[in-house]
Structure 1
Amino acid sequence: MKSIKIIGAAGASIALLAGAGVQAASAASPTCSALDDPIYQVVNPKVGSSLLTPWAGEVTKAAKHGFTADRGVVFYGSTVKAAGLVGVHRLYNAKTQDFLFSISSTEIGSAVSAKGYVDQGTSFYVSPTGATGCRVGMPRLVKGTQHRVATLTGESATMTKAGWTLEGVRFYVATKGADPAAPETPAPTPTPTPTPSSPAASAGPFQFAVVPDTQLEVLKAGDARMKARNQWLVNQKVAFVAQTGDLVNWDTDAHEQYDRAKVGMGVLTANQTPYTVAVGNHDSMATGVGGSARPGKTWELVRDTRTLNHYFSAEDFGNVAGAFEPGKIDNVYATYQAGGKKFMVLTLEFAPRKAAVAWARSVVASHPDHNVIISTHFYLNGNNTISTSNGGYGDASGKYVFDNLVSQYPNIKMVFSGHVGYAAKARVDTGKAGNKVYSFLTTFHEGTTNPVRMLSVDTTKGTVSSTIYAPFDNKTWHAYDQTVAVDFV
Structure 2
Amino acid sequence: MNKTALLAASAATVALIASAGAGTQVAVASPSAACASLKDAVYQATSPSGSSLFTPWSSEATQAVKAGYTAKGTAFLASDSAAPGLLGVHRLYSGKTADFLYTTSTKEVASAKKIYGYVDQGVRFYVAPAGSGCTEQMARLVKGTQHRLAADGAAKAALTSAGWKAEKVSFFVAPVAVTDPPPIQPPPSTPPSTPPSTQPSTFTFAVVPDTQLEVLKDNDVRLAARNRWLDTQDVSFVAQTGDLVNWDTDTHDQYQRAKAGMNVLTENKIPYTVAVGNHDTEATGVGGSARGGKTWEQIRDTTTLNHYFSASDFGDVGGAFEPGKIDNVYATYTAGNEKWMVLTLEFCARKSVIEWARDVVASHPDYNVIISTHYFLNGNGTIGDNNQGYGATSPQYVYDHLVSQYANVKMVFSGHVGYARKSRVDTGVHGNKIHSFLTTFHEGRTNPVRMITVDTAKDTVSSTIYAPFTNRTWHEYDEKVTDMRFN
TM range (shorter): 0.5 to 0.7
Identify which of 390, 394, 399 aligns with 2:391. Answer: 394
Find the aligned partners of 1:358 and 1:412 in 2 and give their Cα distance: 15
Secondary structure in 1 matching 2:349? coil
Task: Indicate the SS of the match to 2:359.
Answer: helix
SS in 1 for 2:458: coil
Gapped regions of structure 2 (runs ≥ 5): 4-48, 54-92, 100-115, 126-196
1:340–1:257 Cα change, 3 Å: same
Q: Which runs of 5+ in 1 are unaligned?
A: 1-81, 85-129, 135-173, 181-185
Contact 2:369 2:408 (C-alpha < 8 Å) held by counterparts: yes
> What do residues 276-301 of structure 1 show as CA deviations (whole Å, max 9, x unaligned)?
00000000000000000002100000
Q: Which residue of 2 aligns with 1:146?
A: none
Q: Which residue of 2 aligns with 1:192?
A: 122
Q: Quote how far apart the aligned CAs of 1:221 are.
A: 0.7
Give the alignment partner of residue 463 of structure 1, picking from 449, 460, 463. Answer: 460
Residues 286-340 of structure 1: per-residue CA shift (max 9 Å, x gap): 0000000002100000000000000000000111110000000000000000001
1:443 aligned onto 2:373: no
C-alpha separation in 2, matches of 1:446 and 1:299: 27
Q: Secondary structure at the match of 1:230?
A: helix
The letter of the residue matching 1:333 is Y
Partner secondary structure for residue 235 of structure 1: coil
Q: Alpha-carbon deviations, 1:171-214, whole Å to 9, x = none? A: xxx8558779xxxxx9873433469xxxx981331100000000
The 5 A counterparts of 1:51-130 are none
Identity %: 66
Q: 1:361 to 1:469 in 2, by over 3 A?
A: same
Q: What letter corresponds to residue 245 of structure 1 in structure 2?
A: G
Q: Identify the match of residue 476 of structure 1 among 456, 473, 477.
A: 473
Partner of 1:416, secondary structure, is: strand
The partner residue of 1:225 within 222, 225, 228 is 222
Q: 1:337 to 1:132 in 2, by over 3 A?
A: closer
Aligned-pair CA distance for 1:245: 0.2
Cα–Cα, structure 1 residues 132 and 400, in superposed 2: closer, same or farther, change >3 Å? closer
Match of 2:234 in 1: 237
**Contact 1:201–1:337 (CA under 8 A) maintained in structure 2:** no
Indicate conservation of the 8 Å contact 1:188/1:362, yes or no.
no
Amino acid at match of 2:485: D
- AA in 1 matched with 2:280: D
- TM-score norm. by structure 1 comes to 0.62
Q: What one-letter code is carried by the residue in structure 2 that aligns with 1:488?
A: F
Evaluate the alpha carbon distance shift between residue 177 and residue 357 of structure 1 in structure 2; reply closer, same or farther with a 3 A threshold: closer
Give the aligned partner of residue 209 of structure 1: 206
CA offsets per residue over residues 337-360 of structure 1, 9 Å max, x none? Answer: 000100000000011001001100
What is the aligned-residue RMSD (CA, Å)? 2.8
Partner Cα distance (2:387, 2:52) in 1:
41
Secondary structure of the residue that 2:228 maps to in structure 1?
helix
Q: Contact 2:280–2:305 at 8 Å: present in 1 too?
A: yes
Letter in 2 for 1:300: E
1:117-143 deviations in Å (ceiling 9; x for gaps): xxxxxxxxxxxxx99889xxxxxxxxx
The verdict on how the C-alpha distance between 1:343 and 1:422 changes in structure 2, with shifts beyond 3 A counting, is same
Equivalent residue for 2:59?
Answer: none
Q: SS state of the match for residue 239, structure 1?
A: strand
Other-structure match for 1:139: none
Q: Aligned pair 1:272/2:269, yes or no?
A: yes
Among candidates 384, 403, 413, match of residue 381 of structure 2:
384
Runs in 1 of length 4+ with deviation above 6 angstroms? 130-134, 177-180
Aligned to 1:409: 406
Shift of 1:222: 1.1
Is this contact kept in 2: 1:201–1:338, CA < 8 A? no
Partners of 1:237 and 1:133 lie apart in 2 by: 39
Q: In the alignment, which residue of structure 2 is the partner of 1:488?
A: 486
SS in 2 for 1:464: strand
Distance 1:398 1:369, change over 3 A: same
Specify the alignment match of 1:330 in structure 2.
327
The residue type paired with residue 415 of structure 1 is V
Counterpart position of 2:165: none
Q: Is the 8 A contact 2:120 2:318 kept in 1?
A: no
Report the count of equivalent residues: 317
Report whether the alignment pairs 1:368 with 2:365: yes
Deviations 1:89-116 (A, max 9, x none): xxxxxxxxxxxxxxxxxxxxxxxxxxxx
The aligned residue for residue 298 of structure 1 is: 295
